[in-house]
Amino acid sequence: MSRMLRIGWVLLGIWAGPVWSGACPTAAPPGLIALDGRPAPGLRLPDLDGRTVDLKAFRGRWVMVHFWASWCAPCRREMPALARAAAGFGKDIALVLVNTAETEEEAFAFLGAVAPDLPSLLDRDGSATERWQPRGLPASFFVDPGGRLRWIALGGRPWDSPAYARLLARIPAC
């Protein structure tokens, strides 16, 4: 094997190795940060129909917990891409939207216009958001089947882009 070919394989290993180790992402598209695996904070909130949803009900599945608000410009830009990506989640990943400190009417009006198929929980007083500490909106936490925090995506993400589609397709195998 020529020296240049060996160097090429080494560089490919250095570049690709950290991105995907086995089936699980160890580094991923820009904006996704690995977390330490601590238990996810509790999350028990009403949805837009008044039913209480508890994160514990999703144990055994991956969950994407997404904090947003209608007044947040990056949230407004991101939500259509998130809706398109969520259409392909199936049973592999549960999407839990959490509207932060807005009224039911504000959340409903926004989702009805931008992402009518996505349900959302209402954190009317912002206390759940404070427990999760997303460091700004929008923010998406990935909770593993055991209830531990694995990654956070800060800021608006192109969830329906090829890079994020690959990430989302690999997460259930982790």
**Domain boundaries of the chain, sorted by first residue:** 24-173
Fold entry, domain 24-173: Glutaredoxin (3.40.30)
- In order of 138, 156, 165, the CA distances from 44 in angstroms are 19, 24, 28
pTM of the model: 0.85
Query: Which of 169, 107, 111, 139 lies closest to 41, judged by CA?
Result: 139
Q: What is the pLDDT of residue 26?
A: 59
Query: Which of 174, 29, 153 lies closest to 95, judged by CA?
Result: 153
Residue 83: left (phi > 0), alpha (psi -120 to 50), or beta?
A: alpha
Which position has the token pair 């209480």?
A: 52
Q: Which residues contact 53 (CB under 8 A, 6 or more apart)?
A: 44, 45, 46, 47, 96, 121
Task: Please name every residue paired with 110 in a beta bridge, in sequence order, or none if there are none.
Answer: none
> What percent of the chain lies above the pLDDT cut of 90?
76
Q: What is the pLDDT of residue 9?
A: 30
Q: What is the pLDDT of residues 86-126, one digit of tens each?
A: 999 988 899 999 999 999 999 999 999 999 999 999 999 99
